[in-house]
Amino acid sequence: MAIITKDILSAKRVLDAGGLVAIPTETVYGLAAKGTDPTALKQIFETKGRPVNNPLILHFATLESIRPFVSEMPEAVKHLANNFWPGPLTLLLPKSKKVPEVITAGHDRVAVRIPNHPLTLELLQKLEYPLAAPSANPSGYISPTRPEHVAQQLGEKIPMILDGGPCKSGIESTILGWDKELPAVYRPGTITTEEIAAVLGTTPQTHQKSTTILAPGMSLSHYAPRTPTIATIAVLKELERHQGKKIGVITLKSGFGDQFLVEKEVILSPQGSLQEMAQKLYATMYELDAMDLDLILIEFAPGEGMGKAINDRLKRSSTHYNP
């Protein structure tokens, strides 16, 4: 069973030897391996059951440490780094020859970021290589935001979990790239399009969906509980349709359980804070998924700002959804 520890030097020894360590970030826990070692990287895919056509993100301590791994660094990167790093922004940049093919699934761009978690930043500063780290969960399942989530899902497959407490942001990073020199969001996150536009002076487009997975987190089915799940704007209608079932309900700020018999109802933010909703969403999904329910109903967030990222995760996590 994995050791849960705050010992950075022990984590470094495991990683140096080519092993896997679950690490905390401000977004979710990542399953980390030495980002320059193809053998170690293959363990990530095997441990998660992750398709090899799904690229990985490389995590660094500083902007300067990224330079050897990219063939170009546009001026816009410096502006974005000054405003958002360390933080939940991932950039897709032209890769250099130092990046193993398995990282990018054969594509010509590599996803890079500087995470904003003190424990992981301290670890990265002690390493002579970046860390590749997708979410520390079985592929397609709910992303872990607490060390115990990792232990429940992968504890028997990895030697160590670096304990950084609950993740502050709660959903994965925004992924930004450039299509024909124009900025494009490949995956929405807690850094919004509006915030990026304020730095770049132009509003990023939304990358058009395709069958090719160009960046992490673009799979149509992802972040999903094992319990059948419906995301909807009409919670009451879904409760009426599914009367008689054991149902768990997750809402932003309004309760519905007093009108119908439900097994469990969780209001994520009585004040209606999208930031609080994002932070609590995955942990609540874990809780309800462990309750042997027939169905989980999740209310969509308002479709603006951070709500776009939350709703993106809900659509990908749902058995089906009713926008």
* Contact present, 158 and 2 (Cβ < 8 Å): yes
Separation between Cα atoms, residue 317 and residue 143, nearest integer Å:
10
State whether CATH 3.40.50.11030 applies to domain 229-322: yes
Whole-number Å distance between alpha carbons of 146 and 164: 8
Give the pLDDT of residue 255: 81
| Predicted TM-score (pTM) of this structure | 0.94
The pLDDT score that the predictor gives to residue 207 is 81
What is the CATH T-level fold of the domain 3-206, as seen in this structure?
A: DHBP synthase (3.90.870)
Q: What is the pLDDT along the chain (323 residues), one digit of tens a residue?
A: 999 999 999 999 999 999 999 999 999 999 999 999 999 999 999 999 999 999 999 999 999 999 999 999 989 999 999 999 999 999 999 999 999 999 999 999 999 999 999 999 999 999 999 999 999 999 999 999 999 999 999 999 999 999 999 999 999 999 999 988 899 999 999 999 999 999 999 999 988 665 455 556 555 667 889 999 999 999 999 999 998 999 999 999 988 766 778 999 999 999 999 999 999 999 999 999 999 999 999 999 999 999 999 999 999 999 766 65
**What are the residue ranges spanned by the domains of the chain?**
3-206, 229-322
